[in-house]
Amino acid sequence: MKEKLSIVKIGGNVIEDEKALAIFLTAFSKLEGLKILVHGGGKLATQLATKLGVESKMIDGRRITDAETVDIITMVYGGLANKKIVAQLQAKKINAIGLSGADGNSIQAHKRPVKEIDYGFVGDIDGVNSELLSNLLSINLTPIFCAISHDGDGQLLNTNADTIASEIAIGMASLYKTTLYYCFEKKGVLLDITDDNSVVKNINTTKYNELLSEGVIADGMLPKLHNSFHALNNTVEKVCLGDVTMLDKNTEFFTTLTL
């Protein structure tokens, strides 16, 4: 029987807030079995860019990553955020190891082709080095990924953290019984965006299509759900969406997605 593996993605709002991060890392450290963490960097990169006088260009909520910006992202996501998480998990006796996609050639990508918009040094993922990750897990290491991939030709690439999480989950699904957790500020998919208690507990493909046509899933939830069903359609067993309490076995107040 395959061993269980949890892939947990946390959003930038947790990374930005020291208290929220400490609460999350405690919950993550208690999660049983093999696990991998993927983190974004949130507004920290924008804040550093502002201090350095580098303009943050966004189109449709997506960052345009020029050469200066990819350096800033590498400093903030790959350096500060990643190493702080690793050091704090070590204090909780989790043998964490921080990785970008360049480390161990763990996430191979290519620079997004220029069509209407030139996103700059942004990566579209080609593959995940599941053999490496499996080796690291087997010596009791817990990989902690920042949202950076590489093109194999020396260039680091800013990459969507939700996508990294789902691609890792897909890459590992043939080796492990894989669950993907998207941990964010809401308790799950909400029927009424103004009511935090209107969580839809279970969504399957039929329900997903219903909610899509009713317009319940919109804005930032669209790519998250798209990534989730992409993962489910590629042998990931289960995807869960919710806030930090989702990692606690005593609560079931979150959204579970299955095919």
Facing residues of 99 across strands?
145
Least distance to a second copy, CB of residue 220, Å:
26
**Contact positions with a second copy (CB under 8 A) in 210-249:** none
Window 40 to 59, contacts with a second copy (CB under 8 A): 48, 51-52
Task: Name which position in 83, 110, 186, 207 contacts a second copy (CB under 8 A).
Answer: 83
Judged by CB under 8 A, the number of residues near a second copy is 40
Stretch touching a second copy by CB under 8 A, among 2-10, 88-96, 193-201, 225-233: 88-96
Q: In what order do the strands lie in the sheet with 107-111?
A: 123-128, 107-111, 148-150, 156-158
Smallest distance from a second copy to CB 78, Å: 4
CA gap 173, 211 in Å, rounded: 27
Contacts of 10 (CB under 8 A, 6+ apart): 24, 37, 38, 39, 40, 183, 184
* Binding region for substrate: 41-42, 63, 158
Contact flag: residue 115 with a second copy (CB under 8 A): no
CA distance 114 to 63: 14
Among 35, 39, 150, 187, binds a second copy (CB under 8 A): 150
Tell me which of 61, 113, 154, 215 binds a second copy, using CB under 8 A.
154
Q: How far apart are CA 58 and CA 121, in angstroms?
A: 13
Q: Name which of residues 59 to 78 contact a second copy (CB under 8 A).
A: 71, 74-78
Q: Are 164 and 38 in contact (CB under 8 A)?
A: yes
Phi/psi of residue 172, each to 5°?
-95, -10
Q: Could you say which of 139, 192, 219, 250 contacts a second copy (CB under 8 A)?
A: 139
Q: Between vectors from CA 210 to CA 206 and to CA 215, what angle results, nearest 5°?
A: 145
Question: Which residues in this chain contact a second copy in the complex, by CB under 8 A?
Answer: 48, 51-52, 71, 74-80, 82-84, 86-88, 90-91, 95-100, 102-105, 132, 135, 139, 141, 148, 150, 152-156
